[in-house]
Chains A and B, each alone.
Chain A
C-alpha cells in the first residue's frame, strides 16, 4: 500500500502521485458542506457573489459532525455519502475546487469531470468517528449556523487518513 502526505493547498501538477489505491494523510484547513450548504454555495456562485473561502486553497469535506462535549475540540467526525453532492461538483470545480473528501462512489460523469481537471476525490472511512476526531486540531462553525449539523464548519486536520478509491 502506497502512502503519501498531502498538505493543502494541493497542486494539480502532483496529480499523478494520487493513483487509485493510495493512502493519503491529509493536513490543513478544510470546510464541511452537506446538501443544504451546497445549495447555498451554488446560489452564491450563480449570483456571482464572493465565496466565503477560497476553494483553490482548501478542500470540501462532505461531513456533518456531531456536537462536541464541553471542553472537547470536536464531536464525532466522519464522511457522509458523496453521491448526493455529485450534481454540485462541476460548478465547484469550475470555481477552483480541487479536493473533495467524502465516502461512497460518485457518478462516473462527475468522477470524470474531476479527473479531467486533475481534482482528487478522497474517501474517508465511515463509522470511524472517534479515530477521525483525533486527527482534528480545531473545529468551529464557520457559516450558516442556522443549518445545525448541515452548517459549514472550518476544520484543521492533521494526518487525517483517507484513500484514493479504486
Chain B
C-alpha cells in the first residue's frame, strides 16, 4: 500500500489550476495558428490574432485567459494499491479555495441552482469523477470549464434505427443553433454509447484527448471529419464573425450500450480549453 498525503494532493491540484488559468492546451495554440493561415474572413482573422496575442499575454501578465475561470472538474485514476489520506473532494475544494484567493480566480459557483442562487464566494465546490486502476499511482486530470460553452452542450437518447448520418445531422444542427454563444472556435467532445449518465461523461473525457489526434477507428475518424467539416462549411466562424473556423477539432469516444439504446452526448468546449493531467509522484509525499 502506498499512502498519499492530503498535502501532496492539494498542492498538485493547486499547481495544476494555477498553470491552466494562464495557459490553454498547447495544441489549441497550434490549431489556432493553422486556422489563422487558412482563414477566409478578415474579421475572423483579426479576432484570431487577438486570441493568439492573449495566449502570449496571459502568462506574462498573470491575468487569466478568460474572465470565466469556470467550474473545476477533476477526473482521478486511483491505483488500487494507493491509499489517500482524505476524500479527494476535500483536497480538491481546498485547492480551489486557495486558487480563488491567490491567483485570484472569479467565484463563479452558486450554492443552489434555484433556492436561492447565492454565490459560495470561493469558487468551491469542484466536481470529482473517480476511476479505479491497477497499481499504486494517482493520476489527476483537471479542467476549468466556462459556463457559456457548457450551456450549449446536449444529450439525445437515439434508438438503434438511427444511422451515423442522422447523428451527424443532429449534432451539426445543434452546434449551429448555438451559433457564437459558446465562443467558437470550438472543440467538440462526443460520447456515443453507455447510458444516460455515462454518455455525457464520455463526451467530457473526449475533450481531454490529444487535440487533432486521428481516431484509431477509420469509421469514427470519418464521422469526426464529417462533423467538423460540415459545421465549418456553414460559416458561423470565430466568435460568430464569419469564415471557415467554427470547430477546431471533434473527438468521439464510444462504449458498449444496451441493445435498445444509442445515447449521444456532446460536450461543447470553447477555445479557452484549460486542462492538464498530472501524476502525484512519490517524491511529493
Contacts and interface: CB of A to CB of B under 8 A. Distances in A.
Interface of A: 1, 21, 23, 36, 63-69, 72, 75-78, 80-81, 83, 103-105, 123, 125-131, 133-134, 147-150, 161, 163, 165-166
Given A76-B64, A128-B50, A133-B61, A166 B241 contact: yes
Instruction: Please classify the interface of chain A as helix (H, G, I), strand (E, B), loop, or mixed, using the class held by over half of its residues.
Output: loop
B43 to A, nearest CB: 6
A123 B239 contact: yes
A65 B64 CA distance: 10
B79 interface: no
A81 B180 CA distance: 9
Contacts, number: 143
A77 B182 CA distance: 17
A147 B108 CA distance: 11
A163 B43 contact: yes
Interface stretch (B66-74, B194-202, B220-228): B66-74
Given A125-B239, A165-B241, A78 B67 contact: yes
A130 B65 contact: yes
Contacts of B63: 72, 75-76, 129-130, 133
Interface of B: 42-43, 46-47, 50-51, 53-54, 57-58, 60-69, 104-108, 117, 119, 121, 146-148, 151, 179-183, 239-242, 270-272
B20 to A, nearest CB: 13
A35 to B, nearest CB: 9
A127 B106 contact: no
A166 B50 contact: no
A81 B242 contact: no
B123 to A, nearest CB: 10
A42 to B, nearest CB: 17
A141 B272 CA distance: 26
B104 A127 contact: no
Nearest to B28: A127
A65 B240 contact: no
A69 B68 CA distance: 16
A148 B241 contact: no
Contacts of A36: 117
A140 to B, nearest CB: 16
A124 to B, nearest CB: 8
Given A67-B106, A104-B180, A105-B240, A131 B54 contact: yes
Contacts of A77: 67
B272 A126 contact: yes
A69 B62 contact: yes
A64 B270 CA distance: 18
Given A66-B67, A103-B148, A103-B180, 16 more contacts: A1-B46, A21-B43, A21-B242, A23-B43, A36-B117, A64-B67, A75-B104, A78-B68, A81-B151, A103-B183, A103-B239, A105-B240, A126-B66, A126-B272, A131-B57, A149-B119
